[in-house]
Amino acid sequence: MKVKKKKKSYKTSNLPPGTIAYRGEKQSTITNIEIVNYSKEEFTSLNSSSVEDAFNFEGNDHVTWVNINGLNNVKDIETLGLHYKLHPLTLEDIVNTGQRPKLEEFEYYMLVVFKMLFIKNDDEIHYEHLSLIVGENYVLTFQEADGDVFDDLRERLNSAKGRIRSQGSDYLMYAILDAVVDNYFTVIEVLGDKVEELEGFLFQSKDADDRTPGQIQKLKQEVLKMRRSIYPLREVISRMEKTDFAFIEEKTHSYLRDLYDHIIQVSESVDLYREMIWSLMDMYMTIISNKMNEIMKVLTIIATIFIPLTFIAGIYGMNFKNMPELNSDDGYFILLTGMFILFIFMLIYFRKKRWL
């Protein structure tokens, strides 16, 4: 399902470069525009269906955040592009959900493309393509659909908690990235839970059904996909930290350094779980092998005890005329005793071999 989504984005391959067309999964979504405008003293937030509403708020001492939910309505995006003088390739990057995380500096703005990971009710990890454009006193964000990880941020903006209201658009960009990266931790936690659950299952039950390799394989793919979304962001934030882009104030750099620490930590956790998942396969193989040994032991014990005994019984089941033992009165009982002794002997042998 997810792979399909990626594929569709490839289909832009037959379009001339610079064509803007969203081919992601969420085609039917109605575009929802959220406009937040704030300064130290003021705060306005409104949902609109027209991007032009955002252009009223301009001014040097305000920060305007336009958040587009739904990449379907290409016209709105183009209107924004015209107003904020966005490069055609930027618009293409915004709607191309297959685009990997990257940072690009233009004359009037900086573009950051990355992935928002979050957990919905179904305990599945969802990936959303997110583009962020930061200019002198505005921030534009483009999401594929409604629902994001910015509720805390909105609350802080509204209630003027923390230092955010007294900072510029660069700090808002940092706050948005920070919200996304912080949410990576939650997502990794869910991945970690799955890994540990599977590991615990393998450890305790020392048992494994044949769905286990499939589950491990699925975790492998999950972690590979996550890595692809998270790894390039390391480089993005590292470059952002070092950039001398005009809008990034000096004091924001220490926050970006902190953000970089977080993304490094995230990617190290991903690597750790990756190694653990690879190890799980080894463990599963040893469990299978151990079970095989167990099965073979049972078979061997049974066969080794009864096959010789059956042979002896077969001997005395023969119909030779002259078999002296058969005529002895105690022959049968002596034989049974002998068989019993052999049986005990075998048991001792297997116990010595630690098979019992």
Q: Which residues, numbered 296-355, are part of the site for its own copies (CB under 8 A)?
A: 296-300, 302-304, 306-311, 313-323, 325-332, 335-336, 354-355
Our CB check for its own copies shows the closer of 18 and 59 to be: 18
| Minimum distance of its own copies from residue 309's CB (angstroms) | 5
With CA atoms as reference, report the closest residue to 294 among 214, 209, 348, 354: 354
Name which position in 53, 78, 136, 199 contacts its own copies (CB under 8 A).
199
Q: CA-CA distance, 28 to 107, in Å (whole number)?
A: 34
The encoded tokens of residue 274 equal: 């990756």
Q: Is 147 in the site for its own copies (CB under 8 A)?
A: no
22 by DSSP, 3-state: which?
A: coil
Contacts of its own copies in 11-70 (CB under 8 A)? 12-14, 16-18
Q: Which of helix, strand or coil describes residue 31? A: coil
Q: Give the nearer residue to its own copies in terms of CB position, either 137 or 267.
A: 267
Span 210-249, contacts to its own copies by CB under 8 A: 210, 213-214, 217, 220-221, 224-225, 228
Among 104, 119, 136, 247, binds its own copies (CB under 8 A): 104
Query: Which range binds its own copies by CB under 8 A, 42-50, 119-127, 138-146, 287-295?
Result: 287-295
Site residues for its own copies, 157-196, by CB under 8 A, read 161-164, 174-175, 178, 182-183, 185-186, 188-189, 192, 196
Residue 296 C-beta: closest distance to its own copies, Å: 5
Q: Are strands 138-143 and 63-69 parallel, antiparallel or unpaired?
A: parallel
Residues 6+ apart with CB under 8 A from 83: 51, 55
Altogether, the residues listed in the chain come to a count of: 356
- Determine the Cα–Cα distance for residues 152 and 71; give it in Å rounded to an integer: 23
C-alpha–C-alpha distance, residues 111 and 286, integer Å? 49
Report how far residue 259's alpha carbon sits from residue 178's, in angstroms, rounded to the nearest whole number.
6
